[in-house]
Amino acid sequence: MTHNNRLRRVVLAAILPFVGVVAAFGVAPATVTETVTVAKVIEDIALPDVPLSANPEEAYWQEERIQRGDTIASVLARLQVDDPEALQALRGNRDARALYQLVPGKTIRAKVTGAGKLLALRYLAGTDVYSVERAGEGLVVGRQPAQLETRTMMASGEIRSSLFASADAANLSDAVASQIADIFSTDIDFHRDLRKGDRFSVVYEALYHHGDLIRSGRVVAAEFVNQGKVHQAVYFQNSEGKGGYYTLSGKNIRKAFLRSPLEFSRISSGFSRARFHPVLKQWRAHNGIDYAAPSGTRVKATADGVVEFAARHQGGYGNLVVLRHQSKYTTWYGHLSGFAKGLRKGGRVAQGDVIGYVGATGLATGPHLHYEFRINDVHQNPLRVVMPSAPPITAEVRPMFEAAAQPLALRLKVLRGTNLARLD
Q: Is the pLDDT of residue 39 over 90?
A: no
Which contiguous run of DSSP H or E holds residue 275? strand 272-276
- Angstrom distance (rounded) from CA 362 to CA 139: 58
For the chain, the farthest-separated pair of C-alpha atoms sits apart, in whole angstroms, at: 102
The string of DSSP codes covering 311-348 is EE-SSTT-EEEEEEETTTEEEEEEEEEEE-TT--TT-E
Range 266-380: architecture per CATH: Distorted Sandwich (2.70)
The dihedral through the CA atoms of 412, 413, 416, 418 has a sign that is negative
Q: How large a percentage of the chain has pLDDT more than 70?
A: 80
Q: Once rounded to an integer, what is the mean pLDDT over residues 8-31?
A: 42
Beta-strand ranges (E) seen in 99-258 are 107-113, 118-125, 128-135, 138-145, 149-158, 199-209, 212-226, 229-237, 243-246
Residues across the chain: 424
Q: What is the DSSP letter of 252?
A: B
Q: What is the pLDDT of residues 376-409, one digit of tens each?
A: 999 888 877 777 777 889 899 999 999 999 999 9
Q: Do residues 284 and 275 make contact, with C-beta atoms less than 8 angstroms apart? A: yes
How confident is residue 22, by pLDDT bands cut at 50, 70 and 90? very low
The dihedral through the CA atoms of 376, 380, 382, 383 has a sign that is negative
> Domain 149-254+389-424 is in which class?
alpha beta
Q: Where are the domains of the chain?
A: 59-145, 149-254+389-424, 266-380
3-state SS record for 343-411: CCCCCEECCCCEEEEEECCCCCCCCEEEEEEEECCEEECCCCCCCCECCCCCCCCHHHHHHHHHHHHHH
Q: Do residues 299 and 320 make contact, with C-beta atoms less than 8 angstroms apart? A: no
- Angstrom distance (rounded) from CA 177 to CA 222: 11
pLDDT for position 368:
92
Which contiguous run of DSSP H or E holds residue 273? strand 272-276
Q: What is the pLDDT of residues 343-382, one digit of tens each?
A: 999 999 998 899 999 999 998 888 999 999 999 999 888 8
Q: Which residue has the higher pLDDT, 91 or 108?
A: 108
- Angstrom distance (rounded) from CA 340 to CA 392: 31
Write the CA distances from 337 to 161, 247, 312, integer angstroms.
30, 37, 10
pLDDT for position 346:
95
Q: What is the pLDDT of residues 298-340, one digit of tens each?
A: 999 999 999 999 999 888 899 999 999 988 999 999 999 999 9
Most confident of the following: 131-145, 169-183, 284-298? 169-183
Q: Which residue has the higher pLDDT, 262 or 8?
A: 262
Which contiguous run of DSSP H or E holds residue 291? strand 289-292
Nearest 5°: the CA angle 144, 148, 152 is 165
Which contiguous run of DSSP H or E holds residue 180? helix 174-183
Phi and psi of 403, rounded to 5°? -65, -35
Write the CA distances from 162 to 166, 209, 369, integer angstroms.
6, 31, 21
Write the CA distances from 178 to 183, 244, 263, 411, integer angstroms.
9, 16, 7, 21
Q: Once rounded to an integer, what is the mean pLDDT over residues 141-170?
A: 90
Write the CA distances from 194 to 166, 223, 300, 405, integer angstroms.
12, 14, 21, 27
Q: Is the pLDDT of residue 27 over 50?
A: no
Determine whether domain 59-145 maps to CATH 3.10.450.350: yes
- Angstrom distance (rounded) from CA 121 to CA 86: 11
Residue type, 321: V
Asked if 59-145 and 149-254+389-424 have one fold, the answer is: yes
Write the CA distances from 375 to 178, 267, 332, integer angstroms.
29, 22, 12
How confident is residue 88, by pLDDT bands cut at 50, 70 and 90? confident
Q: How large a percentage of the chain has pLDDT more than 90?
A: 38
Q: What is the pLDDT of residues 238-250, one digit of tens each?
A: 877 788 999 999 9
Which contiguous run of DSSP H or E holds residue 266? strand 266-269
Phi and psi of 266, rounded to 5°? -135, 150
